[in-house]
Chain A
């Protein structure tokens, strides 16, 4: 048995972790699933705290940065990005078998 990382990225409506999910991505180091662009219309959780309650560990959150002077009204990337991880055990030679 060995550990593999699963990553969940949630984009939230405000900088608060308990605000609702507006976007999501995931990456699966176990190889059991292959999430990709445009593969679902419903988020895995309704807000960030729901992910914590399901065992995801928060490992990074966006900084709160003031807008660049002169670009206060410009819009660009999503602002409130939260990275989570899980570290499930897998059978090394058979990455599809997840032990959680």
Chain B
């Protein structure tokens, strides 16, 4: 894929992704492509075999290929999954007008607790999504929870959840584990979303712009808590984020509030007495 180095993900943006489990790129797809998508998506986009390289899955000039070559999209994807990811699968999701039900809160695929790798799911919204159109429900900071698919379906609402409202041409990039669901569409319109899941093919280490790696805003992002966290478990979330950040940067000394350093301090293992 072509990328624009000027739009490569920064360390602060990567830290935001590690903390909240997704990035949001508002209106990054131009109107003419959104119009094209609204004609294309109702008919579906033919599937590709799991693990197909992007270049093979989406020929030069095809709509998905042009979507992925938009500088903001390409730069963010490269910072998260690196060059040459493969396409796990893609799908056109439609929330029917007045369909009367919402999806249960879920994580896609199956429980996936890889400590040093993650897939990214791109969600593209070609039309403006208003409050009554059933925009995707997303729970920030839920991606590191060890739950399986829709076992979280009992949770209807969580404080700080995001009920997506967005301008046309918005793209979300989500960690594979994030809790989400299509909400009930109470409008008169079909709501379309095109999703592509990407598998990395390279180690996800220092793939983003590292010039700002020491920016204090990195620690600020990684220290965030969310309103639905229980206080005690929220501390564990930060602990687990630190481990992921260490894996993504190769910096085994990074910490937030000494959370990891403290509980891994084992003087007896270093003693020669």
Mark each residue of chain A from 65 to 98: 1 if its CB lies under 8 Å from any CB of chain B, else 0.
0000000011111111000000000000000000
Contact of A38 among B144, B163, B227, B231 (CB under 8 A): B163
Indicate whether A54 reaches chain B with its CB closer than 8 angstroms.
no
Q: Using Cβ atoms and an 8 Å threshold, which residues of chain A touch B63?
A: none
In the bound complex, how far is the Cα of B232 from the Cα of A26, in angstroms? 25
Number of interface residues of B (CB under 8 A): 36
CB < 8 Å A-B pair total: 95
Does A40 contact B231, Cβ atoms closer than 8 Å?
Answer: no
B127 → A minimal CB distance (Å): 19
Does A13 contact B231, Cβ atoms closer than 8 Å?
Answer: yes
Instruction: Pick from B46-54, B81-89, B152-160, B210-218 the stretch touching chain A.
Output: B152-160
Which secondary structure dominates where chain B touches chain A? loop
Indicate whether B38 reaches chain A with its CB closer than 8 angstroms.
no
Indicate whether B103 reaches chain A with its CB closer than 8 angstroms.
yes
Does A22 contact B229, Cβ atoms closer than 8 Å?
Answer: yes
Does B159 contact A37, Cβ atoms closer than 8 Å?
Answer: no
Q: Using Cβ atoms and an 8 Å threshold, which residues of chain B touch A11?
A: 155, 158, 228
Given contacts A25-B154, A38-B102, A38-B181, contact A75 B236 (CB under 8 A): yes
Q: Which residue on chain A has the smallest CB distance to residue B153? A: A37
B112 → A minimal CB distance (Å): 13
Does B161 contact A41, Cβ atoms closer than 8 Å?
Answer: yes
